[in-house]
Structure 1
Amino acid sequence: DRVWKFGPNFQSERGQRKVWQESTRDNALFLSTAIQLNNAQLRPAFEWLTQRLIVLPPGMDMNPLLSIELLKTEDGLKRVMDFMRVADIGIDHLELREEDPPAPLAPPPGMMRLNIQLGLPPGVVPGPNKMLRLLAWHKRKDDGEDVAFDIGDESDGTRKLFEFVGGLLRAMDTGATICIDELDRSLHARITRFLAELFQQPHNPNNAQLVFSTHDVTLLDQDLLRRDQVWFIEKDAQAGSRLCPLLDYSPRKGEALERGYLKGRYGAVPLTGALES
């Protein structure tokens, strides 16, 4: 049986709580039920969870269509290119071409990725009755000539960064919170650091947040993260996972966190043994 508890600040008309409770199905949340029944007090919490919290589980990337949409306007293209240039990945400019498809295209199910093939050349994604080809232009060092690559021919890290840019800029605009598992997957350590720095700087006026897991120990740097921003996952005796804050270990201000972690001072390091011959 469910146990219902309400805080003193939760307001409702007489009898409304009982209606909301009885209307909440076993496979539904009280929060969504109350919103459907026009509870105004809970709406800000509901909208934050549904519109301003973005969670990317393992193996799922940001929707690249957010980045592609930005390329369709002059201001959006400038924002994307400013982001990519600061990341210093060598792309001079991006071009989105609209072409007639060789045959009618159906959008792929689920979240689109730029490297989905659909029998088309790399970097081609379907639009409404059109085929959108995304080209990354590079300037050749020896003669200064511009050379174009389909985005699908770029490295995993470059494609992933492009997938991220639209969602990250939207989060910065709306003050959203993005949770990403293994942020450093396919990304150079300097790019991962750049993404973490992005949410720390003054040009984050709406207080967007980035919550991420990583194996990149170079991010354990007090010049980048405050001590209260770092948490560790450690296996317990039952092989379960335990989340503990860095502050539990009372690190000093200015302490070399990366060195301390690798020495096992904060736990959460794998215990490796020797291979038997």
Structure 2
Amino acid sequence: MQFFLRIENEYQIDDKRFVNASGLEKRTRDNALFLAVSAQWNVKKAEKILEWFDKTYAVHGLMDQTYRDETLEILENKDHSHLINTFIKKADLGINGIDVMDIKYEDVIEFVPKEMKKNFKEKFDKTDNRAILMIHNKYDKDNKLLGNAPFLLDKYESEGTKKFFNMIGIYVKALKENRFLIIDEFDARLHTLLTKAIINLFNSPTVKSEAQLLIACHDTALLDKRILRRDQICFIEKDEYGGTELVSLVEYKPRKESPYDRNYLDGKYGAIPIISDLEELF
């Protein structure tokens, strides 16, 4: 469905679909978005489109630390903190719960070396001084349960656990607020079964959400017909000149019984790297 077409400063506007937008092209600067100008002049369709973009999460899967505050915000909300704890428990990471402790300046200044104390207060105030604790079971040498033991997330947990924790808030907010979630490097540092579980969450008919998930990944195990339909899988094909093309799996017309992952690695769908014999280097 097309509302308008703009090529440089030439416009084609569908007056029936994009009501009240005609004439606004004259008010649009060369470096301005026609959509934004239309919304400023109360074109309702433009307002709805921009609202949709505002609700879109575009996330880089290798910069997960950037999104930690989203998780902490939910965790510190008494009405919703159980969602974060349940997410962690069900991921089979050996974690029974999460606790967040505020670190005060008075608690740490005595341990700071004398030569570093001069500017320490200024640096401390600019730092997120919350300690995130992962609660694990504690056992004796005979494997008898002794109780719980807290582990600092950033010091003792794996990179995969850190990423999963940091991203939970994004997943929860997208599902609860019906957002469009785009994730690059979705599978980085996460186990295949965990990434499949996240995809299933967005695909689930029992989860009452209109959220959508678009991911870029390299894990061929996710080419699984049990979790994705053919029309939900696309490949990025690069030509000899470096240009890329998006191709849907539907276009290859695979049989229902075909193993998508094996066929892809066999080159039947294209979009695979042609790697020279690295052994020749040595």
TM-score by length of 2: 0.83
Distance of 1:41 and 1:201 partners within structure 2 = 30
- Unpaired segments ≥5 residues, structure 2: 1-7, 110-120
Of the three residues 4, 13, 18, the one matched with 2:11 is 4
Q: Distance in 1 between matches of 2:160 and 2:223?
A: 21
Are 1:140 and 2:138 an aligned pair? yes
Which amino acid is 2:18 matched to?
F
2:18 paired with 1:17: no
C-alpha contact 2:221 2:261 (8 A) present in aligned 1: yes
* Letter matched to residue 53 of structure 2: L
| 1:213 and 2:197 aligned | no
Q: Quote the Cα distance in structure 2 between the aligned partners of 1:223 and 1:59.
A: 27
Query: Is the partner of 1:199 in helix, strand or coil?
Result: helix
* TM superposition shift of 1:198: 1.1
Question: Could you tell me which residue of structure 2 aligns to residue 155 of structure 1?
Answer: 158
Larger radius of gyration: 2
Q: Do the aligned partners of 1:222 and 1:254 also contact (CA within 8 Å) in 2?
A: no
Q: Given that residues 61 and 186 in structure 2 are in contact (C-alpha distance below 8 angstroms), is that contact kept between their aligned partners in structure 1?
A: no
> In 2, distance between residues paired with 1:151 and 1:58?
18
Contact 1:67 1:164 in 2 (8 A): yes
Q: From 222, 241, 249, give the equivalent of 2:225.
A: 222
Q: Following superposition of structure 1 onto structure 2, how do residues 188-207 of structure 1 map, counting pairs within 5 Å?
A: 188-207=191-210
Secondary structure class of the residue paired with 1:75: coil
Per the alignment, residue 112 of structure 1 pairs with none
Q: After TM superposition, give the deviation of residue 204 of structure 1 in Å.
A: 2.9
Cα distance per residue 1:183-223 (max 9 Å; x no partner): 11111111111111111113432221111111111111100
> Does the CA-based 8 Å contact 1:156-1:186 persist in structure 2?
yes
TM-score, normalisation: structure 1? 0.84
CA contact (8 A) 1:152 1:159 kept: yes
Q: Corresponding residue for 1:115?
A: none
- 3-state SS, counterpart of residue 27 of structure 1: coil
Partner residue, 1:31? 35
| Partner Cα separation in structure 2 for residue 93 and residue 139 of structure 1 | 10
Shift of 1:106: 4.5
In 2, the alpha carbon distance for the partners of 1:58 and 1:162 equals 12
RMSD over aligned Cα atoms: 1.9
User: Is the Cα contact below 8 Å between 1:172 and 1:206 reproduced in 2?
Assistant: yes
1:40 corresponds to: 44
Give the secondary structure class of the aligned counterpart of 2:80: helix
Q: Secondary structure at 1:237's aligned position in 2?
A: coil
Give the alignment partner of residue 73 of structure 1, picking from 77, 102, 121: 77
- Post-superposition shift, 1:63? 1.2
Answer whether contact 1:180 1:211 (CA < 8 A) is retained: yes
In structure 2, do the counterparts of structure 1 residues 203 and 167 end up closer, same or farther at CA, with 3 Å as the change threshold?
farther
Aligned to 2:113: none
| Structure 1 stretches lacking a partner, 5+ long | 108-117, 119-125
For 1:41, what is the secondary structure of its paired residue?
A: helix
Shift of residue 26 of structure 1? 2.5
Moved more, 96-105 or 201-210: 96-105
SS in 2 for 1:17: coil
Matches of 1:268 and 1:79, distance apart in 2: 38
5 Å matches for 1:117-128?
Answer: 126=128
CA-to-partner distance for each residue in 1:162-201, whole Å, 9 max, x for gaps? 1111111110011111111111111111111111111111
More helix by share: 2
Q: Which of 65, 86, 89 in structure 2 is aligned with 1:85?
A: 89
Distance 1:189 1:80 in 2: 20
3-state SS in 1 of match to 2:182: strand
Task: Name the aligned partner's letter for residue 138 of structure 2.
Answer: R
- Match in the other structure for 1:172: 175
Report the alpha carbon displacement of residue 57 of structure 1 after superposing the two structures with TM. 4.2
Structure 1's 60 and 31: CA in aligned 2 closer, same or farther, altered over 3 A? farther
